[in-house]
Amino acid sequence: MYDVKSMKAEEFISDEEIQATLKYADENKDNMEVVDKIIAKAKLGKGLTHREASVLLACDNEAKLQEIYDLARQIKEDYYGNRIVLFAPLYLSNYCVNGCLYCPYHAKNKHISRKKLTQDEIRKEVIALQDMGHKRLAIELGEDPVNNPIEYVLESINTIYNIKHKNGAIRRVNVNIAATTVENYRKLHEAGIGTYILFQETYNKEGYEKLHPTGPKHDYAYHTEAMDRAQAGGIDDVGLGVLFGLQMYRYEFAGLLMHAEHLEAVHGVGPHTISVPRVKKADDIDPDAFDNGISDEMFEKIIALIRVAVPYTGMIISTREGKAVREKALEFGISQISGGSRTSVGGYVEEESEDDNSAQFDVSDRRTLDQVISWLIDLGYVPSFCTACYREGRTGDRFMSLCKSKQILNCCHPNALMTLKEYLEDYASEETKVKGMAMINEELQKIPNEKVRRIAAEHIADISGGKRDFRF
């Protein structure tokens, strides 16, 4: 039944295969010969299969766990270096016809205030985001064919890309909307989106159907096969994710890796990103109603193992998590974070008031973007606003080959430094500017190629002189 190349959800995410994987993991988790062999393979930096990674997830030997964490840190350093990409979510509409039990947008929630931004309101939100320093957005919408048709999404993307305000610019719009048709994916591709993101929520079909009792999202196969349709529509950067807490984490972990293997086997390129959201409190939603919540320790282990299993895939963590968890997550594999986020529709312009309940979930990290940038610098990470790859056409397998060839120090690193410099010039507080400049001077020396190093230094000087938007 299990067939990684099948185009049918129930065959590439075969329940039978996941059950067999969990059994295999339980049988081998204390077999140190097997565990060591898997760790040795992981050390080659070429990833692990869902079965191998599941054995490590089940293993609770302290010494082996330490080896896994060290390896996750190493792999992150090798492929992604010390750069962290920043983005912000932009909620356009919370109208929704689905019945997702964990989401406050669900259609039966009559007391949430429903909002949909007009193009003028979008302009104001985007200007507020540009004034914070953001260059990369993820737009978020509920599913509602009448209120949020694809035309509205396309018009909004066009509006966002065309706002020119001071030195601000949104250079990459990622899109997180419900599963749709090949034709609509093609339209999104033509509108110039970055990554198409769709969280699977859960890979367990039975659990999925119960958690999505009504609305188009109820259809497990249509949802699970969405990334294949996105690829058929020309989108080769797709982002996966599981909403941890809904179902058993071990099942989700195996399913997530099987989905990544499927994309790689069929389209020759795995997921561009993997997100790791956990269910949060929200209007009408009590996260304790789902009895599969995972501890912070298990969450960190999952992040480290995703890093080890799919070394070339970017990993995203949002402000659903607080500072302490985010700090650990950065260490073990996260390469992209949001900062200064508002999860309510219109939240960047209007201060979120007590009686506004339109937010999608409670934000745990409420720091401003400048505070997040300052914190990253203190931790030794280079905050990056880079959007170069996709603008240079380095998407899909072309991005992956850059990552695999470890050429990022000559490409992503200077791009990160140049975009950080723009941020420091245009938006940073004085304190952040001082330490950011010191970091740029130090990090420039790490660019191996002499010519690239010289050009990057020249561009950084030009940014002080008022020029913008350099990239390799």
Residue numbers of the site for ligand SAM (CB under 6 A)?
102-103, 140, 142-143, 176-178, 198-199, 201, 217, 243, 277, 279-280, 282, 285, 320, 360-361
Q: Which is nearer to ligand SAM, 243 or 304 (CB)?
A: 243
- The least CB distance from residue 260 to ligand SAM, in Å, is 17
Q: How far is CA 348 from CA 79, 132, 371, 462, in A?
A: 34, 10, 17, 31
Token output for 164: 């020119």
CB of 3 to ligand SAM, least distance (A): 26
Quote the CA–CA distance of 25 and 58 in Å, as a whole number.
6
CB nearer to ligand SAM: give 28 or 94. 94
Query: In angstroms, what is the minimal distance from the CB of 339 to ligand SAM?
Result: 17
Q: Which residues contact 92 (CB under 8 A, 6 or more apart)?
A: 116, 117, 122, 139, 140, 141, 148, 152, 153, 156, 345
**Least distance in angstroms from the C-beta of 72 to ligand SAM:** 24
Distance CA 93, CA 97 (A): 12
| Residue 280 beta carbon to ligand SAM: minimum distance, rounded to whole angstroms | 4
Minimum distance of ligand SAM from residue 143's CB (angstroms): 5
Provide the strand spans (E) within 186-261.
Answer: 196-197, 238-241
Closest contact distance (angstroms) between CB of 200 and ligand SAM is 9
Query: Nearer to ligand SAM by C-beta: 52 or 201?
Result: 201
Output the DSSP codes for 223-243: HHTHHHHHHHTT---EEEEB-
* Closer CB to ligand SAM, 102 or 399, in the complex: 102
- Considering the complex, state which of residue 17 and residue 140 has its C-beta at the smaller distance from ligand SAM: 140
Cβ contacts of residue 183 below 8 Å, gap of 6+?
A: 233
State the Cα–Cα distance between residues 277 and 341, nearest whole angstrom: 14
Q: Within 13 Å of residue 191, how many CA atoms lie on the same side as its CB?
A: 26
* Nearer to ligand SAM among residue 217 and residue 262 (C-beta): 217
Q: Is 220 exposed, middle or buried (0-12, 13-18, 19+ CB in 10 A)?
A: buried
Angle at 386 between CA 86 and CA 186, to 5 degrees: 90
Minimum gap (Å) between residue 361 Cβ and ligand SAM: 4
Task: List residues bridging with 338 in a β-sheet.
Answer: 87
Residue 319 in contact with residue 276, Cβ under 8 Å? no
Please say which residue, 21 or 200, places its beta carbon nearer to ligand SAM. Answer: 200
Instruction: State which residue, 102 or 332, has the beta carbon closest to ligand SAM.
Output: 102
Q: Which is nearer to ligand SAM, 176 or 344 (CB)?
A: 176
Rounded least distance, CB 360 to ligand SAM, Å: 5
Q: How many residues does the chain have?
A: 472
Mark 47-76 as b/e (b = at least 16 C-beta within 10 Å).
bbbbbbbbbbbbbeeeebeebbbebbeebb
Nearer to ligand SAM by Cβ, of 115 and 453: the residue is 115
Tokens representing residue 431 in the block = 């304190």
Provide the minimum distance between the beta carbon of 287 and ligand SAM in the complex, in angstroms, as a whole number.
7
Which helix (H) or strand (E) segment holds residue 20: the answer is helix 15-28
